[in-house]
Copies of this chain bind each other. A is one copy, B any other.
Amino acid sequence: MRFIDQLRAAQAQNQSLLCVGLDPLPSRFPAGAARDSEGTFAFCRTIVEATADLVCAFKPQIAYFAAQRAEGQLERLIAHIHAVAPQVPVILDAKRGDIGSTAEQYAREAFDRYGADALTLSPFMGFDSIEPYLKYPDKGLFLLCRTSNPGGDDLQNQRLVVAGQPRLYEHLAELAATTWNRNDQLGLVVGATYPQEIARVRALAPQLPLLIPGVGAQGGDAEATVRAGCPHKDSGAIVVNSSRAVLYAGSGADFAAAARAAAQATRDRLNAARAPV
């Protein structure tokens, strides 16, 4: 099953645009939890089981596993998500960006080793840093486009000298929506902080799925985000990520229930903002 179909099916089944990001920081685990790699798996598993019927995707961030030598636990976690929630796709957040045989190795890592359904990529090196991943036709690829951190302006928001003078991120959105998207596998990562930029990306890439981090802990406005990313009922999919606001909603024994309540509230807020079907 192709990623985009998996995503659409999960969105329909769970009536959700919410993606829960799995960024496990042992220092923020609830009191009494093990702060080692085994504890990392246990924490993430609990969050997954508490929210699997409320989300359209899970997004583990690989750095949190790699820093603590817990690649084996990441393999185990993704397998566990596929076992307990086979309808929910897994987007591995690794922001890979390299070319040729190196990119092929990263693709093997993400898809063959970890079994991810989609992967985030950095497009800085251009199309030949995207192309090797297209050999996995069922997998989805989210390219960084417009990130909402302050430094996002340093490069992405620079204006280019070409007809219409787009910003770099607009140029990229056009490339990804046209010549680069050979097999309908591409999506874009667009931060939630500036809804007018989400709208701009949506106008340039009407059908691409958008992965939108920054709702929740990072403060993006859920309603404006949904309206900008999903202006019509036929717009491309949007996937709105929340990590810390869900993961660390509680810090005691009830953390799973707190995470579930936070996920549910965010899902409902996103749904309330959707265009009527």
**Which of A's residues lie within 8 Å of B, judged by CB?**
23, 25, 61, 63-64, 66-67, 69, 71, 95-103, 105-106, 108-109, 112-113, 122-131, 144, 147, 149-156, 158-162, 165, 168, 171-172, 175
- Can you name 6 extra interface pairs (CB under 8 A) apart from A25-B101, A97-B144, A128-B151? A66-B106, A69-B71, A99-B147, A126-B151, A131-B151, A155-B171
- Given the known A-B contacts A129-B151, A160-B158, are A124 and B144 also in contact in the complex, defined by CB atoms under 8 Å? yes
Give the distance in Å from the alpha carbon of A206 to the alpha carbon of B159 in the complex.
Answer: 26
Known: A109-B67, A113-B69. A156 touches B126 (CB 8 A): yes
| A126-B100 in contact (CB<8A) | no
Tell me if B98 and A127 are in contact (CB < 8 A): no
In angstroms, how far is the closest chain B Cβ from the Cβ of A193?
12
Contact of A67 among B105, B130, B156, B172 (CB under 8 A): B105
Q: Quick check: B105 and A64 within 8 Å, CB to CB?
A: yes
Q: State the CA gap A71–B69 with chains docked (Å).
A: 8
**CB of A181 to closest CB in B, whole Å:** 14
Inter-subunit contact A106/B149 (CB<8 Å): no
A154 touches B175 (CB 8 A): yes
With a cutoff of 8 Å between Cβ atoms, the chain B residues found around residue A175 in the complex are: 154
Inter-subunit contact A63/B102 (CB<8 Å): yes
A152 to B, closest residue via Cβ: B126
Point out the residue from B64, B105, B124, B128 that lies within 8 Å of A97, measured CB to CB: B124
Alpha-carbon gap, A161 to B106, bound state (A):
35
Look across to chain B and name the residue whose beta carbon is closest to the beta carbon of A128: B151
Chain B residues with Cβ below 8 Å from A128 are: 149-151
Chain B residue with the shortest CB-CB distance to A151: B126
Chain B nearest Cβ from A178, distance in angstroms = 12
- Given A69-B113, A97-B97, A98-B95: A151 in contact with B168 (beta carbons within 8 A): no
| A179 and chain B: residue at smallest CB distance | B154
Query: Within the assembled complex, what's the spacing in Å between the Cα atoms of A174 and B100?
Result: 28
- Cβ contacts under 8 Å, A154 to chain B: 123, 126-127, 175
The answer to whether A153 touches B171 (Cβ under 8 A) is no
